[in-house]
Structure 1
Amino acid sequence: MKKRQFKKLDNSISSFQWIKKKSERYWQKVDLMECSGCQIQEGSQWKKGLSESELEDFQNQLSITFPESLKNYYRTMNGLDKPGIDNNGGEGEIDLGPTFYSYPDDIPIIKARIKLTMEANRVTEDTMKNQNVPPTFPYLGHRFLVLDHEENVLSMFGSDIIFWGGNLSKGIAKDIFPIRHAEKKKIDTSSFWNKKIGR
């Protein structure tokens, strides 16, 4: 992906539609790497986006209010029509599993990811209230959207946290396309999750 195209990505429906179109074309021919973790299958396509009533139910089941960015993403697409392939680094059996999480199938996985990340970082419901800790939402593996005013995407694997993208569309694009440039963004280091980046 060209740097200019990447910089233009915002959280509008048109940005997510662009990602949808380009990624489906990109996945027409896929070479799987010998590594652990679910990879996109060749010929994968995005499932139809959600209706407003489905979005409402999604939020209710998670007890989370989605920002407009997350709503626009799920209005446009809702996970993939094929499971991801984990070839376990070329050793052992091939496993299948979700890549981009979808409603309603992956709600248990989303809840489990949130719980594990909170436990690894010693975040409880009380600390969320008392220390103004924003909730997070996993949309793919251990990629989380922070639901605060900045809406950064962080890669959160237990207590290992790194900055991944300056908004949701950039975070998603970075996981799909070969992007050879790092995104530079000044982040608010007073934010709870941003304080943990790189520790």
Structure 2
Amino acid sequence: MKRFAYLLVLALCAGVTGCTINHPIDKDYAAYLANNQGESALPKAQGPADYLLAPATETHHYEFRSALVGHANLWIVDFGKLLDMTLASQDVQQAFEGLKRHDGASSSAPVLRFELMQYRFEDFRAYVTLNVEVASAGQQLFSKTYQVEGKSQGGKMFWGGAFAMKNAVQQSTKLAMDEILRNFIRDFNQLKLAQN
């Protein structure tokens, strides 16, 4: 009954006043990551590193609507915030035995630079294209673009509607980032082996 009343209010709000209900995906993403700790299955990286986000990645902003969960709802993805929280998460920190944001000072640790090439959420899933560069002592050692689609969340969106939509976006985005990080860590380890 509560769900019906909520949906009725949303429909009336959208139909009568044309209002939009904003849903920022990053709002409780850190809690989402903490609740799903251990599910990333990331391999161990060969040593710690620093990281930074490309300026356009840091300020990335993407909005979309889904007719399946109500057109009055506007879903907002600030990918830089999600990526920053992911890199600070316990799973990633354990994988790297320390991954910290690069502060501009010289460091003996390699610097990982993340640049978002594309993010979109459609067909019930997140599509992420992310370039990762590795530099050391100011010299670029590695650059590769990873393109991944997250797992479909169609069932969750169909049955859960707007209530489940935020979780659907968070989960599909996290699964895509996990896959990118798994592939990158394998490449990073190969790079480290080649340097020894």
Larger Rg: 2
In proportion to residue count, which structure has more strand? 2
More relative contact order in 1 or in 2 (CA 8 Å, sep 6+)? 2
Of Structure 1 and Structure 2, the greater helix share is in 2
Same fold (TM over 0.5): no
